[in-house]
Amino acid sequence: MNFKLHVWRQKNAAAKGRMEQYEARDINGDMSFLEMLDVVNEDLVEKGIDPIHFDHDCREGICGACSLVINGLPHGGMTGTTCEVRMRLFKDGSTIYIEPFRAKAFPVIKDLTVDRTSIDRVMQAGGFVSTHTGAATDANAILIPKDKAEEAMDAAACIGCGACVAACKNASGMLFVAAKVSQLALLPQGQAERERRVNKMVAQMDIEGFGNCTNYFECEAVCPKDISVKFIAKMNREYMRALVK
């Protein structure tokens, strides 16, 4: 398979970026999107051209580091993360546009790599518990209703990739923050810091420059882990509860 790539190139955060065109030739349809970029980079290195910089880690859809905007959609708008996208899903000979996540809270480092430590700082503000949770053998010591446990697990599936931010016209981080707030608010271990957690995480989200939610639901549509927007409503209730208390 052969593809024409239009890739965003930017030397650093202060430099002016531009789209550059490259050829991806003899690509196996079973290759992942990142493996295709590896092949392109090998060709660029042989030609003495600076390779395309992009972020990745696990390449198994677990970490979310491989965040790219493909043809205008985070992770290509497909099921899973960028590293899980297979080239057979694209038409042979097609043109593919590749850009970094664009948001004030995600400044470009180089090319397709952005600084997403703003998400880490939101987590550090309150996305944790200080309660002793015991060892694995103590897992059944605290009884939790099945529906609450499953809902908490649904929220915990969020990998913090930032696709929701990149898809939102306001660059809102509400879906990510809501998932982390809701995950702990639903469990007994998260009750001790319940009010303080949501107050601090929402405050840090605003400090980082994330926008507000206007309920267009693009976030849910592109989330590789199918996090529901119902958690935004849950977080709003948690925030109002904390303000009242």
| pLDDT for the residue numbered 168 | 96
Counting Cα atoms < 13 Å in the Cβ hemisphere of 51 gives: 13
Identical topology for domains 3-110 and 116-244: no
165 in Cβ contact with 190 (< 8 Å): no
Helix residue ranges per DSSP H, 47-168: 117-126, 146-156, 163-167
| pTM, entire model | 0.91
Reported as type and span, the H/E element at residue 113 is: strand 113-114
- φ/ψ region of 185 (left if φ > 0, alpha if ψ in -120 to 50, else beta) reads alpha
| pLDDT for the residue numbered 130 | 87
Q: Where are the beta strands (DSSP E) in the chain?
A: 3-9, 18-24, 69-70, 73-74, 95-99, 108-110, 113-114
The 3-class secondary structure across 1-23, one letter per residue, is CCEEEEEEECCCCCCCCEEEEEE
142 in Cβ contact with 186 (< 8 Å): no
| pLDDT for the residue numbered 182 | 97
The DSSP bridge partners found for residue 7 are 20, 98
> Token pair for residue 13?
């955060």
CATH of domain 116-244: 1.10.1060.10
All structural domains of the chain with their residue ranges: 3-110, 116-244
Measured distance CA(191)–CA(201) in Å, rounded: 15
Report the chain (245 residues): mean pLDDT per 10 consecutive residues.
98 94 97 97 97 95 94 92 96 98 96 97 94 76 89 96 96 97 94 94 97 94 96 96 91
SS3 110: strand
Neighbours of 181 (CB within 10 A): 27
Q: Name the CA radius of gyration of the chain, rounded.
A: 20
| pLDDT for the residue numbered 134 | 75
Q: Write out the CATH class of domain 3-110.
A: alpha beta
| pLDDT for the residue numbered 206 | 96
208 in Cβ contact with 118 (< 8 Å): yes
